[in-house]
Amino acid sequence: MSTYRGNKRQHFGKGGGRRGREHGDAGAVDENNPVIQCFREYAAILDAKHDKYERIVKISRDITIESKRIIFLLHTIDARKNNLRKVCEEAKERLEAIFRNHFVNIAKELKDQDPYQYARAYTNGMQEFIEAYTFYEYCSGKDISNWDAIQQKLTYKKSQYDVQSDVESATEKDNLNPGSDSPLDVVSTSTLTTTAKKGSETSEMACMLHPQDFVLGLGDLSGEIMRTCVNSLGSGNSDSCFQHCRFMQELYKGFLSVTAVRSRDFSHKMVTLRQSLLKSENVCYNVTVRGGEAAKWGTTDDVSSALFQVQLSKDDDDEGIFF
């Protein structure tokens, strides 16, 4: 065999294959070419879209951090300290601050844009916020808001923030154009409704709440209620454990009734929800069997109660409801 095997080169043309192409004459790009100009415009549009996406992601991270802090705050509620009202008022103020300072910025970014293109940018922050907001409503004894109620809170009108500036700007335009509509017809100090009047199309902006994010946020709520159930047992308020458990049973029943699920995350939430429900039911079981000694003996984290833990498997999955 030849000792030079593997060192052979194939030469094509005068320059010789790849090396010939490297040393070929590279033509200069003609910036006046219409095709080149079109691609320059496409590049600018894509860069603007990516920058907008990253700004929304940063806002979503801030929402996630603040929502987690609110959840931790709500877990400090203790019947022995009688601090329910104080903690709920502080949590409400911080939730309203998220509406004013964070979601309004996302709404501004999504203005005149397709919100579905940026839905994945803030889905984590939205789910965490739904968890914090519904947990606040649960702790304060209110009914859990539905999707439409929260979507209305995420819809912003200029009259809520800068009515005066809108009236002044409309007044200036009216002075420049005497034949135009009155500024009081364009901007109302009470509300700004979307009508066919001049300037009404830009009077409202919204941060889209995807129904899937709302449902997944409710699924995360089960974990917080389970912790509240365990903490209630530790603080001696064993009667509330059964209320928490019944609520989680109704929530789990509602999730089971959902059919034609097109989300992988929904299946994961179902498993987590069932695990949280089993832990809450174990707490209620300990209270029923041991009575006042349940807190002293421990809950699901105790070794003695580990026998009652149910190991989930694929064969033990719920079949759900079929119609």
- Return d(Cα 113, Cα 115) in angstroms, integer: 6
- Return d(Cα 194, Cα 204) in angstroms, integer: 7
- Please count the residues of the chain: 323
Supply the DSSP string of 41-102, one letter for each residue.
Answer: HHHHHHHHHHHHHHHHHHHHHHHHHHHHHHHHHHTT--TTTT-HHHHHHHHHHHHHHHIIII
Q: Is 41 assigned a ligand-binding role in the annotation?
A: no
Sign, CA dihedral 246-272-120-53, equals positive
Q: For the purposes of burial, counting CB atoms within 10 Å of the CB of 66, is it exposed (0-12), middle (13-18) or buried (19 or more)?
A: buried
Amino acid symbol at 117: Q
Question: What would the two tokens of residue 145 be?
Answer: 């808001």
Nearest Cα residue to 124 out of 226, 210, 222: 210
Residue 311 per-residue DSSP state: P
- Return d(Cα 47, Cα 124) in angstroms, integer: 23
User: Kind and range of the H or E element at 240?
Assistant: helix 239-256
Q: Taking a C-beta distance cutoff of 8 angstroms, is the pair 103, 96 a contact?
A: no
Q: Is 224 assigned a ligand-binding role in the annotation?
A: yes
- Return d(Cα 92, Cα 89) in angstroms, integer: 5
Q: Taking a C-beta distance cutoff of 8 angstroms, is the pair 71, 131 a contact?
A: yes
First to last CA, the chain: 75
Residues of each annotated binding site? 131, 224
Residues of each annotated binding site for Mg(2+)? 131, 224
